[in-house]
Amino acid sequence: MSKRIGLLGGMSATSSQLYYAELCRLTQARCGGLTSPDLILRSVDFAPIEQWMREGEWDAISDLLIWEAKMLERAGAEVIALATNTMHNVADRIQDHLTVSLLHIAEATAASLVSKGHQRPGLIATKFTMEQSFYTGRLSANGLETLVPAADTRDVVNGIIFDELCKGAVTEESRAIYMKVAADLAFDGADSLILGCTEVGLLLNESNTPLPVFDTTTIHCEAIIDAAFSEPL
């Protein structure tokens, strides 16, 4: 029997759909048959959270997500994960209020990079993830030197995420922009590329970038499934 997964999502809904599909795929690949993950999904309304992000109201976001994560734990979740990179800004606060583990996406990503011998990943993500230490600090603590695009490019990348990808909109124009960003990071010395927003994989993959790609959605889901199927201590 696997542990019950509590997935805190809706940030965006597109991201949660990607997570659910990947968790189902990984469970099927591991177990075969008609097996699917034992999972509780709590999908919150992203609109007020996005407004709080723009206003810097991280305490309000933290309070909400702590409440929701505790509700998942009360419902029997034994492994909890945030289906988003940016909301890991409050991951430590959430973990402080749980008795079960919150699986941190940056820790899983760092472990994957280190295991494959990379040291200077480029990062494409929201401005919050690219500019604040809650994410890059975790990578640095694992011996990684993270490269991010220039400030004006970060604005463009961020706009595409919130105006298009979070709404499930995929355009070839935006794909070309992201491909150029990835190429510039490679030129600047990146030895790998972190798709550091769970929707970025809608535009970029191994076939259209010059660097080895580390898709955080896939990496996080693999860590979640590994934890769910791990033996109890």
Q: Using an 8 Å Cβ cutoff, are 159 and 199 in contact?
A: no
Is there a single domain that holds both residue 85 and residue 136? Answer: no
Per-residue pLDDT of the chain (233 residues; tens, 9 = 90+): 789 999 999 999 999 999 999 999 999 999 998 999 999 999 999 999 999 999 999 999 999 999 999 999 999 999 999 999 999 999 999 999 999 999 999 999 999 999 999 999 999 999 999 999 999 999 999 999 999 999 999 999 999 999 999 999 999 999 999 999 999 999 999 999 999 998 999 999 999 999 999 999 999 999 999 999 987 64
Is there a single domain that holds both residue 115 and residue 207? Answer: yes
Catalytic residue among 146, 197, 217, 218: 197
Q: Within 10 A of 34 (CB to CB), how many other CB atoms are there?
A: 6
The total number of structural domains in the chain stands at: 2
Give residue 95's domain range.
5-105+219-228
35 included as an active-site residue: no
Rg for the chain (alpha carbons), in Å?
Answer: 17
pLDDT at 8: 98
pLDDT at 233: 45
Instruction: Please name the amino acid found at residue 89.
Output: N
Is there a single domain that holds both residue 140 and residue 85? Answer: no
Q: Using an 8 Å Cβ cutoff, are 166 and 17 in contact?
A: no
Can you tell me the distance from the alpha carbon of 171 to that of 151, in angstroms, rounded to the nearest whole number? Answer: 23
Is there a single domain that holds both residue 50 and residue 93? Answer: yes
CATH number at residue 23: 3.40.50.1860
Q: What is the DSSP string of 41-98?
A: EEE--HHHHHHHHHHT-HHHHHHHHHHHHHHHHHTT-SEEEES-SGGGGGHHHHHHT-
Q: Is residue 233 part of a domain?
A: no
Is there a single domain that holds both residue 72 and residue 25? Answer: yes
pTM tops 0.85, yes or no: yes
Burial zone of 124 (CB within 10 Å; 0-12 exposed, 13-18 middle, 19+ buried) = buried
Token duo for residue 210 = 């010059």
Token duo for residue 173 = 């124009």
Is there a single domain that holds both residue 88 and residue 174? Answer: no
Q: Using an 8 Å Cβ cutoff, are 39 and 23 in contact?
A: yes
31 included as an active-site residue: no
Catalytic residue among 27, 84, 126, 217: 84
Is there a single domain that holds both residue 61 and residue 148? Answer: no
Token duo for residue 69 = 């994560």
pLDDT at 232: 60
Is there a single domain that holds both residue 207 and residue 223? Answer: no
Q: Is residue 190 part of a domain?
A: yes
Is there a single domain that holds both residue 146 and residue 209? Answer: yes
